[in-house]
Amino acid sequence: MTLTIASWNINSVRLRMPIVKRFAETARPDILCLQETKVRDEDFPFSDLRELGYDHIEISGQKGYHGVAILSRLPLEEVTRGPFCREGHARHISARIGAGTGAAAGLRIHNFYVPAGGDEPDPAVNPKFDHKLDFLDAMTRGPAERHLVPERAVVVGDLNIAPLETDVWSHKALLKVVSHTPVEVEAFARVRAAGGWVDAMRERIPPAEKLYTWWSYRSPDWSAADKGRRLDHVWLSPDLLDGLGAIRVFREARGWDKPSDHVPVTAELRL
């Protein structure tokens, strides 16, 4: 079977429901991981999403900020959620695809929303940047109770770091801009190396090519200026690499009505 997994920072799930529907009907992902849902669990729009075919929904939300969700056509089990690295933020949820789902059974999905890190890339003066680096350290350690183990597992999410020179519109201009500073890129590399995680997007789109998933709301003509960054990622445990199919970045979603500043990414996985 082929499973399509999507990741999308939607910047308010309630406000974005029309384009979540549009994307779900266009890409028809089996698993849709959302970040920045910005809603308390009791106010999560379950029924609207079930209507799109996602009968299995696991969420970790908080009021106004952050929040992650896994929407699935397949049953989910063994969910882990809750604050991942101090601050009490809802920035991680993981679940395993349930038994009785054929070849997909046992696949674990991790959905992360890594802290943006504020403006100043210095942990000594900027607590948000300090938190970002600590969060990445926690991802490197992979707390046992979160099952962040690189076996039959997928890590997706808004990791808020653009690691390659081709992941930003200007490497030189962004070297001191949070999301592309060397200290973050090095921490990001440590997380990936610790698990041997494979950067699935760059398995399909050559690292020499520019690739973005985010364009600032502040750019008056985002597409023409094209000053984007690749902040959203899909990682695979090495055992899944042989099954990797198409990767798609839905750049067009940035031009939809009332868009998120991030676009969805999908990965096909043969299991």
Catalytic center residues: 113, 158, 262
Minimum distance, C-beta of residue 125 to DNA, in the bound complex (Å): 14
Minimum distance, C-beta of residue 59 to DNA, in the bound complex (Å): 15
In this complex, which beta carbon is closest to DNA, that of residue 189 or of residue 244? 189
In this complex, which beta carbon is closest to DNA, that of residue 30 or of residue 158? 158
The reply, when asked if residue 9 is annotated as ligand binding, is yes
CB 260 within 8 A of CB 252: no
Minimum distance, C-beta of residue 163 to DNA, in the bound complex (Å): 13
Q: What is the 3-state secondary structure (H, E, C) of 122-184?
A: CCCCCHHHHHHHHHHHHHHHCCHHHCCCCCCEEEEEECCCCCCHHHECCHHHHCCCCCCCHHH
Q: Rule CB under 7 A: is residue 217 a binding residue for DNA? A: yes
Minimum distance, C-beta of residue 120 to DNA, in the bound complex (Å): 8
* Residue bearing tokens 């999560």: 44
Distances (CA, A) of 157 to 8, 127, 219, 222: 7, 22, 23, 22
CB 74 within 8 A of CB 98: yes
Applying CB under 7 A, which part among 62-70, 102-110, 145-153, 185-193 lies near DNA?
Answer: 62-70
Q: Rule CB under 7 A: is residue 214 a binding residue for DNA? A: yes
Residues contacting residue 16 through CB under 8 Å, at least 6 positions apart: 10, 258, 260
* Binding string, residues 95-124; x marks residues near DNA by CB under 7 A: --------------------xxxxx-----
Distance CA 128, CA 171 (A): 23
Please tell me the total number of residues recorded for the chain in this structure.
Answer: 271
Q: How many residues bind DNA (CB under 7 A)?
A: 35
Which residues form the interface with DNA (CB under 7 A)? Answer: 9, 11-12, 14-15, 36, 38-39, 63-65, 115-119, 128, 158, 160, 173, 177-179, 214, 216-220, 225, 227, 229, 231, 258, 261
